[in-house]
Each structure stands twice: as structure tokens, then as C-alpha cells.
């Protein structure tokens, strides 16, 4: 396993007392002692910067890729049934693109056992996108194949990528058949799928001639056997395999793999090698070593659950010093997809601080549909998206942290000057002297929360502030 390059530094009580001093008469003494403090440096293993966008256009498109952009999770659990969701999402992609969102993640798009009421996580026919009459319906919960294609086309027009949710751990909706490996009847006969593609029987599911089980089954569904060459061929091998059909015919650009704990990382690795496109796995585990192991072996990005749980403990548990701890984005930001909530879990209450964190730090940040469209302040999120796309460049240095405050610097890259983000989890305004990368430069808070326009000193130090239970983001005023 790679070792994190993060250097966690314990600050002295003397520094804490000095840094809290807001009396201008003690500025010189406080500043001199503060300059002796070590800074926590967070650097990619390969030494490269993370994002490199330098656009200053508020409506700039930022193309999604493993090293930049902002992703929208374009659904939530139990979106309205009735076949309207693809059209709902299509009506929003232009505004999302103008806000700087570079990709959208759609729910599982093919026909599932629960037909018109299914969220897609019980897949039956991978080639039925709402154009075959099976499982009691023609359209899926989300709409027709024609509407899905129209949505993808519109997103591409807006220079946005579209990621498909891929459920290949388990299947559902098969017919009963005698199974010699269990001595019972199992619901594993998929020979009658309406598309006629990727027909399956008991030997395509565990237990079978290839073994009794793989890494994990889910919910009592038949557990797909990836060791079977027939399954491999239909998932990624042949010209009309599931992955290639999604990519070449449906025009999806990438994949979110569901429940990857249920099968070996070699499965996603082989899919990526044969199909291509961006990929991220849902490996639900807070252990950063496990996340890094999976991402490396799958040759894929992974959702940064280590970051998610640290943010929950830090913001809701009133201990921002926990943000010094290790996370996937600190190990390899090119393979870390950060998030605040999703369709499965919604634990963080102080979401404004969490979004300010992921949209100013390294990693590939994801915004949840309901947070953006219903629950939070869309203008504030759009401002953070703009900051991410235009200012959040280069490696990261953590400048200060305690229970209530956290300050970090993005060091800039290729002419982009970077930023300083200040998170305040207390009930009062806070101020700090910090070291920037800018000498004799006027800076401002690009969130508009602070009205200060301070000028950095010749040695790059400056005093900044942050409102209560909020954040500020500072960079050169230009």
C-alpha cells in the first residue's frame, strides 16, 4: 500500500492562544511566532496538481474527467414514477452546464423486476431501456429509450458527460428453474428476456460449476458469477456486450459501479480495459487503505467514504481538526470522488460547510440533486462551483485547524493563483493571520461573505476572517 504524504502536525497551545488574539497591538509578536509554525502539506503521490482549469468565465463549461469538474447525481431515491424523470433531467442540463457542472450521474437505466416502479437496482434485461413490454411495462420508471437518448444528446450538447449506474453484482426477475447445484428451484432463468441479449441460467449465478460464492451477495438476489466466461463475454467482451452497447449505442461516457464489495476489483478493471470511459466504484468503507486498494486494483476512481465520514464527524461533531486525518483524496485525488450525500445516505447536517470543503479541495466533487434543486441555496452552490472550476488548483496545504476552525490553501498551478478556504463552525466571527502564496497583493473573499479587501504583506502573510457557521474563500482580487 502507498503511504500518505500528509504530514499531520500538532500545534502548540501557545500558538493557539496567539492565533486567537485579535488585538492589532499584538500583531507583530503573534505574526512572528505564527511564522515558525509548520504547515501541513498534502501533495499527490506523483507530484502533479489536481485541477488545472484557469477560466474566469462564470458560465465556463468544465469538462468532467478523473482530475477535474463537478458531477451532479441527477436522481434521488424514489424519484416520481410515471416515466417523466428523463425529461425532468433534460430540462435542467442547460442550466447545470451554465453553472459549471461537467457531468451527470443517472440511475440504473434498464428494465428491472419491479417494472414501472423500480429504481433500477434489481436489473432484469440490460438492453431494455424502456422499449420492450416486459415486467408489466414498456417504459421504465424514468421514461422511454427515446427520452433517455434525447437527454444524453442534450447533455453532450452542453459539453457534459453522462455516467450510467451499473448494477452487475446481482440480477432479479428471472423465472424459476431446477438448479442441480442447490438441489432446489432458483429464480435464475433469464432465457426469456425481451431483448434476447445476455440470456442467463443457473450456471451464470453462484453457486455453480465455478464455485459456491464470490466476494458477496446482496439482498437475496441471484448473485451473478463473473468467473463464468459467458458472463464476462456479455458484460464487456463481445462487440455488443453490455458495456460496449451502453458506450457505443446509448452514448454513455462512464460508469458508476454499484455495490463493488460484492465482486473482485478485477471485474471493473476488465470492464475498463475493454470498454473504456470514466468509472467510479461504490465501495462503502471508511477505511482509506481499503479504498486505495480497491481503486488501484480496479483501475478506477472510488467514492471517498473516508472523507464523507470524517466530514460528518468534523462538522456535526464540532471537531474540525479531524479534517487533518487521512482520506482518499489525499492518497490519490485523481481516483477520489468526494460527496456530501447521495441516494443511500444523508447523515451530514452542516452541508454548507461540507460542500465548501469538497468544492475547494482536491478530488472529483459530487452534488446531490435534492441539495441543489430543493434543499440548499442554489446560488451559494453555484458560487462554490465557480470557485472550484476557476480557483481550486494545485496541491493543498492545511494552514490551521482546531475544533471550530479550519483553513487550507490550494497552491495554484500553471498561472492560476489558487485560493485559501476558511471554514468556521463556531457561532461567532473568527479572524486569523495566515500565510498565502501572494506578496503585496490585494485579496478578497470570492463568496462575498466578508467585505474585507486586505493586502498581503511582503512576506505573504495576511489577516482574513470568516462568518459564523459558514465559510470564506480568498484569492487575489482580479
- Whether residue 77 is contained in a domain is answered as yes
- 386: how many CB neighbours lie within 10 A of its CB? 22
- Whether residue 473 is contained in a domain is answered as no
- Whether residue 343 is contained in a domain is answered as no
CATH of the domain at 82: 3.20.20.80
pLDDT digits (tens, 9 = 90+) for 322-360: 999 999 999 999 999 999 999 999 999 999 999 999 999
| pLDDT value for 372 | 98
| pLDDT value for 9 | 32
Residue with cell 479534517: 323
| Annotated binding residues for Ca(2+) | 169
Number of structural domains (the chain) is 1
- Whether residue 51 is contained in a domain is answered as no
d(CA 171, CA 175) in angstroms, rounded, equals: 11
| pLDDT value for 478 | 86
Note whether 175 and 199 are within 8 A (CB).
no
- Whether residue 36 is contained in a domain is answered as no
- Whether residue 139 is contained in a domain is answered as yes
d(CA 238, CA 221) in angstroms, rounded, equals: 26
Q: What domain range includes position 63?
A: 57-303
d(CA 384, CA 405) in angstroms, rounded, equals: 19
Q: How far is CA 143 from the centre of its chain?
A: 25
Q: How far is CA 418 from the centre of its chain?
A: 21
The verdict on pTM exceeding 0.85 is yes
- Whether residue 352 is contained in a domain is answered as no
pLDDT digits (tens, 9 = 90+) for 133-190: 999 999 999 999 999 999 999 999 999 999 999 999 999 999 999 999 999 999 999 9
Name residues of the chain where pLDDT drops below 50: 1-67
| pLDDT value for 68 | 61
| Helical H segments across 217-287, by residue range | 229-232, 242-244, 265-275
Q: How far is CA 45 from the centre of its chain?
A: 20
| Helical H segments across 127-264, by residue range | 145-157, 229-232, 242-244
Annotated catalytic residues are 258, 282
- Whether residue 226 is contained in a domain is answered as yes
| pLDDT value for 256 | 98
- 43: how many CB neighbours lie within 10 A of its CB? 20
pLDDT digits (tens, 9 = 90+) for 422-442: 999 999 999 999 999 999 999
d(CA 118, CA 136) in angstroms, rounded, equals: 11
Note whether 399 and 409 are within 8 A (CB).
yes
Amino acid at each position: 500500500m502507498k503511504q500518505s504524504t500528509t504530514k499531520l502536525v500538532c500545534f502548540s497551545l501557545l500558538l493557539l492562544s496567539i492565533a486567537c488574539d485579535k488585538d492589532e497591538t499584538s500583531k507583530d509578536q503573534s505574526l512572528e511566532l505564527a511564522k515558525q509554525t509548520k504547515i501541513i502539506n498534502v501533495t499527490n503521490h506523483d507530484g502533479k496538481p489536481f485541477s488545472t482549469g484557469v477560466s474566469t468565465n462564470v458560465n465556463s463549461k468544465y469538462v468532467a474527467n478523473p482530475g477535474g469538474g463537478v458531477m451532479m447525481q441527477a436522481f434521488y431515491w424514489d424519484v416520481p414514477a410515471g416515466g417523466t424523470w428523463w425529461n425532468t433531467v433534460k430540462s435542467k442540463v442547460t442550466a447545470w452546464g451554465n453553472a459549471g457542472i461537467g457531468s451527470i450521474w443517472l440511475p440504473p437505466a434498464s428494465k428491472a423486476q419491479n417494472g414501472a416502479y423500480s429504481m433500477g437496482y434489481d436489473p432484469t434485461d440490460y438492453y431494455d431501456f424502456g422499449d420492450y413490454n416486459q415486467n408489466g411495462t414498456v417504459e421504465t420508471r424514468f421514461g422511454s429509450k427515446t427520452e433517455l437518448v434525447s437527454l444524453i444528446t442534450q447533455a453532450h450538447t452542453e459539453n457534459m458527460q453522462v455516467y450510467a449506474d451499473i448494477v452487475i453484482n446481482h440480477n432479479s426477475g428471472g423465472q424459476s428453474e431446477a438448479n442441480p447445484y442447490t438441489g432446489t428451484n432458483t429464480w435464475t432463468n433469464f432465457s426469456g428476456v425481451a431483448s434476447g441479449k445476455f440470456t442467463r441460467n443457473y450456471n451464470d449465478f453462484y453457486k455453480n460449476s465455478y464455485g459456491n460464492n464470490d466476494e458477496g451477495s446482496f439482498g437475496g438476489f441471484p448473485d451473478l458469477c463473473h468467473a463464468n466466461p459467458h458472463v464476462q463475454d456479455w458484460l464487456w467482451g463481445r462487440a455488443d456486450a453490455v458495456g460496449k452497447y451502453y458506450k457505443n449505442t446509448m452514448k454513455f461516457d462512464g460508469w458508476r459501479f454499484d455495490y463493488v464489495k460484492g465482486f473482485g476489483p478485477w471485474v471493473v478493471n476488465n470492464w475498463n480495459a475493454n470498454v473504456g470511459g470514466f468509472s467510479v466504484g461504490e465501495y462503502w468503507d471508511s477505511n482509506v487503505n481499503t479504498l486505495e486498494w480497491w481503486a488501484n486494483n480496479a483501475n478506477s476512481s472510488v467514492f471517498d467514504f473516508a472523507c464523507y465520514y470524517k466530514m460528518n464527524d468534523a462538522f456535526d461533531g464540532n471537531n474540525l481538526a479531524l479534517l487533518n486525518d487521512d482520506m482518499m483524496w489525499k492518497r490519490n485525488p485523481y481516483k477520489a470522488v468526494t460527496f456530501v450525500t447521495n441516494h443511500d445516505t444523508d447523515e451530514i447536517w452542516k452541508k454548507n460547510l461540507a460542500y465548501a470543503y469538497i468544492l475547494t479541495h482536491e478530488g472529483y466533487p459530487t452534488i446531490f440533486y435534492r441539495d441543489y434543486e430543493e434543499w440548499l441555496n442554489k446560488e451559494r452552490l453555484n458560487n462554490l462551483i465557480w470557485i472550484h472550476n476557476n480557483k481550486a488548483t494545485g496541491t493543498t496545504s492545511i494552514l490551521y485547524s482546531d475544533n471550530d476552525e479550519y483553513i487550507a490553501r490550494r497552491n495554484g498551478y500553471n498561472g492560476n493563483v489558487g485560493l485559501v478556504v476558511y471554514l468556521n463552525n463556531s457561532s461567532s466571527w473568527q479572524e486569523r493571520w495566515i500565510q498565502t502564496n501572494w506578496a503585496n497583493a490585494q485579496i478578497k473573499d470570492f463568496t462575498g461573505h466578508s467585505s474585507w479587501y486586505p493586502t498581503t504583506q511582503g512576506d505573504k502573510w495576511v489577516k482574513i476572517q470568516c462568518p459564523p457557521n459558514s465559510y470564506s474563500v480568498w484569492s487575489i482580487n482580479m
